A = this chain, B = another copy of it.
């Protein structure tokens, strides 16, 4: 099939040949070729064919995918509610300037709306900046909320690995001035609960602190002005070996070899309370105010995590940096660990499925008087989790129902459409989930097949005799057993048979 670009190119060829007064035969040949290409493209130019696709990096969700997605959402939402969170919603776009200067190097990935007159708008890039805007705008200094919504990034999509341009974030944040590390610990508990509940296999939550990173950079001799830049390099350690990161620091970012090697020693460290204690004694780090503060809080955090009984899956990891500009304290990221999995032949690329941290300065950037509202939060990366579960379902041949219909209203004989409609109306009004085939005279076999295909467990069959006797024949699709039920008891009988144990 010829593309539009190819047609334009061919038209250009024809134009040039004519201009050059080329051999008429050659011109005729190229014109014929052009006409054929146009035909392929959809008859005439004015009515070309639609490109039937979703925009790059996006996808539709089919009913089956939605059923899996809802399971995941339910697990996440019930965890957020278990922790007493309220819920808010914000518009999908914000004033462009609301997003400006919040995302560092990643700002180039923001989707802008076309200037059609009026305000300049951009699609939201995450839920954190809109949350901070919401707090400042409504002068809220104290809230625990969750927000589940789509965000937009003009990134290179890698759809099989669950990286999209339109994707859901599930955010839980605690805003307010509180005693140190209690909300931070709760965020980590939430990640632990959700990842355990979803049974995605073994996972690890890496924890660090921006203050420890900054202190480390200072004692390693990184100039203040290069902190954020070097932090971005460190952030790549989960995808690149140290040697490459090192040469980026030295080559691209102009760091001294000595400073880079010094950083290299620190960023390979990871552990638990023992490591924190050791670093608190580190002759250099212990002299740095920021690092000392960060390490002190890290120790307190681990004490709380011990009370929660979750330190087994937490690793204090000095190589964790996280890209976003706005973090000011604790940062963390949960990764799934590679594992043997009988169900999945090619395991989905293992990566980060949750992340978050403390951002005490962001709300202040929006407040006219710069008043700060300390915040800490976590974002669950639903798309990767969803990719894993979807592959697992595919592999297991588990049959997923996409409706909740309890009963199909059917008839064995002709001319009973009106009776079917009367009965289904009664069932709907009684709150029963019921369907009917939209045919005047459907065959009983087709009606039963529909139940098999869609997993409807019961069939209510009306016929001449049943109508006379004031009963309905109720058929169990799985066992094929049929029994006459008095019409006035039908609702109760269906409820009883389809109630979840």
Contacts and interface: CB of A to CB of B under 8 A. Distances in A.
Interface stretch (A108-116, A239-247, A336-344, A487-495): A108-116
Interface string A89-109: 111111101100000000000
Interface stretch (A80-88, A258-266, A322-330): A80-88
A112 B115 CA distance: 8
Contact of A52 (B53, B368, B425): B368
A167 to B, nearest CB: 10
B425 A189 contact: yes
A403 B183 contact: no
B88 A428 contact: no
A90 B60 contact: yes
Contact of A176 (B368, B405, B438): B438
A193 interface: yes
A446 to B, nearest CB: 13
Interface string A443-466: 000000000000000000000000
Contacts of A82: 428, 431-434
A54 B89 CA distance: 12
Nearest to A78: B431
Given A307-B421, A425-B309, A136 B174 contact: no
A283 interface: no
B118 A56 contact: yes
Interface residues of A, number: 91
A150 interface: yes
A88 B114 contact: no
Copies of this chain, tallied across the complex: 2
A184 to B, nearest CB: 10
A402 interface: yes
A438 B113 contact: no
A433 B144 CA distance: 14
A418 B307 contact: yes
Contacts of A418: 307
B93 A58 contact: yes
A66 interface: yes
B189 A428 contact: yes
Interface string A349-378: 000000000000000011010000000000
Contacts of A83: 428, 433-435
A161 to B, nearest CB: 19
B438 A182 contact: yes
Interface string A418-439: 1001100100110111111011
18 contacts: A50-B133, A50-B368, A52-B368, A53-B137, A54-B94, A55-B91, A55-B119, A63-B86, A66-B88, A83-B435, A84-B433, A84-B434, A91-B166, A92-B92, A114-B114, A179-B439, A182-B421, A304-B421
Interface of A: 49-56, 58-63, 66, 69-70, 81-95, 97-98, 111-116, 118-119, 121, 123, 133-134, 136-138, 143, 145, 150, 152, 154, 166, 174, 176, 178-179, 182-183, 185, 189, 193, 304, 307-309, 365-366, 368, 402-405, 417-418, 421-422, 425, 428-429, 431-436, 438-440
What are the 5 tightest A-B residue pairs by CB atom distance, in nearest-first order? A63-B86, A178-B438, A58-B91, A84-B435, A61-B89
Given A60-B90, A66-B87, A182-B421, 5 more contacts: A52-B366, A56-B118, A70-B87, A82-B428, A307-B422
